[in-house]
Amino acid sequence: MPAAGPMTSNTVLPGLGLSIAVAGVAAGLEQAQLWLFGRAWLEALVLAILVGMAVRTFLRLGPRHDRGVEFAAKTVLEWAVVLLGVSVSAGALSAAGPLLIAGIATVVVVAILASYGIGRALGLPHRLAVLVACGNSICGNSAIAAAAPVIGADGEDVAASIAFTAALGVVVVLCLPLLVPLLGLSPLQYGVFAGLTVYAVPQVLAATAPVGLVSVQVGTLVKLIRVLMLGPVILALALGGRDNRHQAPRRLVPWFIVGFLVLMALRSLDLVPAMVVSSLTELSTVLTIVAMAALGLGVDGRMLGAAGGRVTAAAVLSLVVLGGISLLLIRSLGIA
């Protein structure tokens, strides 16, 4: 996105306001799905990118929007990542055995490495391969959104990885229960399997509800433990990341990662009231949607065509690998 002079309130407001408006449209479309179909097939976060891309692709935006869109895509997103920390509590670890916890961590690490390798083998750029790997292996859109500012990902990379990961997420929710009889999974086994493979917590609920309460409870727990890996993974990316060969190394730990870890620690120590946790979690979601709208506004949809096939292939193959690793963990731990 081209530079547009010093960032002041006058230069920020047009683009920020447009980003908020696009986010509002996305939220309205999500509510419309809930009203018409009883569920949202596409979440507001994904819709914000799609609507933003449509606006950028088919309408001519003047340069007066550039600074505000840039502010929303970067600074607003960083604050969303900070607030995301309050929704993650290490207390969930006490509800699972050490072997299962270690197994989940191993699955995440192996899946990230395998997914990154698949992406690079298919010709994806480094940053895009990292985003697809994080989204596939941890928690879909939230992981992509959290990793993007850490590795300096472009709006095109974020939009592409979220778009195809989101599409796969819908397919997984619809098709995963069909694997129960095919693989001979018990409700407990299926809960673990769903928690390890489905991208988002709401999607875990949707994917496990048809099988039974045990699957819902186990799947949610496993998914929450998997989400806990977001902090260490993002920290590892921050410690090892550089913008590119022409720029200086990043700060050792970005400020928003420190904020994420601080809020996570406070939540784990029960120092944050439940009402505050709920409010900050909702605010984080709102800010993320606004940031995704801004990312969409920075992307011309016609630029995604060349990478679309490779991203789709990488995401699908990565998901297959994740499923295989998850089944291997279930069998090796003797979960019945």
- What pLDDT shows up at residue 247? 42
CA-based end-to-end distance of the chain:
53
- What pLDDT shows up at residue 170? 66
- What pLDDT shows up at residue 246? 42
- What pLDDT shows up at residue 182? 92
- What pLDDT shows up at residue 115? 93
- Among 158, 229, 174, 251, smallest CA distance to 206 is for 174
Q: Which residue has the tokens 């984080």?
A: 284
Q: Which two tokens stand for residue 282?
A: 């909702």
| pLDDT tens-place string over residues 191-248 | 999 999 988 766 777 788 788 878 887 887 788 788 878 888 888 888 876 444 444 4
| pLDDT tens-place string over residues 232-265 | 888 888 887 644 444 444 444 567 768 887 888 8
- What pLDDT shows up at residue 91? 62
- What pLDDT shows up at residue 46? 75
- What pLDDT shows up at residue 159? 79
Low-confidence ranges of the chain (pLDDT < 70): 1-10, 88-97, 166-167, 170, 201-202, 241-254, 257, 300-308
Q: Which residue has the tokens 């996570």?
A: 264
- What pLDDT shows up at residue 116? 93
Q: Which two tokens stand for residue 177?
A: 């229960």
Tell me the C-alpha to C-alpha distance, in Å, between residue 38 and each of 203, 225, 289: 14, 28, 21
Tell me the C-alpha to C-alpha distance, in Å, between residue 219 and each of 85, 202, 223: 21, 11, 6
- Classify the C-alpha dihedral 320-326-332-336 as positive or negative: negative
Which ranges of the chain does DSSP label H, i.e. alpha helix? 9-37, 44-58, 66-71, 77-84, 98-121, 126-134, 141-151, 155-175, 179-183, 187-197, 201-208, 213-227, 230-240, 255-268, 274-297, 305-332
In angstroms, the CA 167 to CA 224 distance is 22
